[in-house]
A and B are shown apart, each in its own frame.
Chain A
Amino acid sequence: MTAIFILFALMAILGGLLTILAKNAVHAALGLVGCLISVAGLYVTLNAHFLAAVQVIVYAGAIMVLFLFVIMLLNAAKPVTEENPVPFVTEIAGVAACVVIFAMVVIMSSFKAPVLPKGAVEAMQGGGPGPIGEVLFTKFLLPFEAVSILLLVAVIGSVALVKRPEQQQENLPDGELVGTFENDRQEVKA
């Protein structure tokens, strides 16, 4: 364990705690951004340079901006209620988390990294885009194409979901739009 691992791990845990404990949703999202960026730093120490870049650009950049947009658009920063109708859910969640951690510790104690064949780490070339692309287009070709179709479906689906039904605008009386414009103008003059 090097100092840089401990630094990034502490930052990741702090970001995760902020994510699950913050009352304000914007703070929670920013905590997750910090967690994602520290995990990207850990990827660099694990010889995954391309994934670290993708993590910062796609995950911490694009996806979290989408989250923050929706939080601010819906004005949902403040929680509606923190009262939980399910009894003992916090205790159940704590027990479940302890079980997961215990299972991880048991698996860790029996985990032995295999002896690497000579030159295996050099063949990874630090996880650069070239070697990853080679694996993606040979062994992972079918998942790669399936994921591209999935992204297309997601784009079309999200557009279809948030589209307003057209009849709302048809039901408006004819003069209403003009009236609102005039009201706006009067407010501006006053």
Chain B
Amino acid sequence: MEGVTPYLMLSGILFSMGLIGALTRRTAILVFLSVELMLNAANLALVAFAQAWGDLVAQSAVFIVMTLAAAEVAIGLAIIVTIFRKRVSTNVDTLAELKG
């Protein structure tokens, strides 16, 4: 256990916690929070790899991922607000009618 290995393990743990949250929470906002946790874990792994390779490309990729996360949150929260206006609830189980 030296170098960046502990960082990668922490990244895996955070990603798994985000996975559990995204699968088990029933409120759309909390599912979104879990997705943010998973994105963050991936970012941590990218920064650790940048340190291991001595290259800044991975850090620039983290910058792009953060911008993507911001755009995703803006659109996602707008969708949640719109759904809430129609149904007065953000429970993801009541939104299952598109499943075919």
Contact = CB atoms under 8 A, between A and B. Distances in A.
A69 B54 CA distance: 39
Interface string B70-90: 111111011111101000011
Given A104-B12, A147-B67, A28 B74 contact: no
Interface in B1-29: 1, 3-21, 23-27, 29
Interface string A77-100: 001111111000110111011101
B7 A121 contact: no
Contacts, number: 237
A127 to B, nearest CB: 6
Contacts of A59: 40, 66, 69
Interface of B: 1, 3-21, 23-27, 29-30, 32-34, 36-37, 40, 43-44, 47-48, 50-57, 59-64, 66-75, 77-82, 84, 89-91, 93
Given A147-B64, A162-B82, A101 B30 contact: no
A96 B16 CA distance: 8
Interface of A, helix, strand, loop or mixed by DSSP: helix
25 contacts: A9-B10, A19-B21, A20-B20, A32-B33, A32-B37, A39-B43, A46-B4, A46-B7, A46-B47, A51-B59, A63-B36, A63-B70, A66-B74, A66-B77, A83-B26, A94-B20, A96-B23, A97-B17, A103-B12, A121-B54, A127-B59, A136-B60, A153-B71, A154-B72, A162-B81
Residue from B5, B7, B20 having most chain A Cβ neighbours under 10 A: B20
Given A19-B37, A43-B47, A54 B66 contact: yes
A85 B96 CA distance: 11
Interface of A: 1, 5, 9, 12-13, 16-17, 19-20, 25, 28-29, 32, 35-36, 39, 42-43, 46-48, 50-51, 54-55, 58-59, 62-63, 66-67, 70-71, 73-74, 76, 79-85, 89-90, 92-94, 96-98, 100-101, 103-105, 107-108, 111, 113-114, 116-117, 120-121, 123-124, 127, 131-132, 135-136, 139-140, 143-144, 147, 150-151, 153-155, 157-159, 161-162
B75 A157 contact: yes
Contact of A80 (B16, B26, B52): B26
Contacts of B3: 113
B92 to A, nearest CB: 10
A46 to B, nearest CB: 5
Nearest to B23: A93
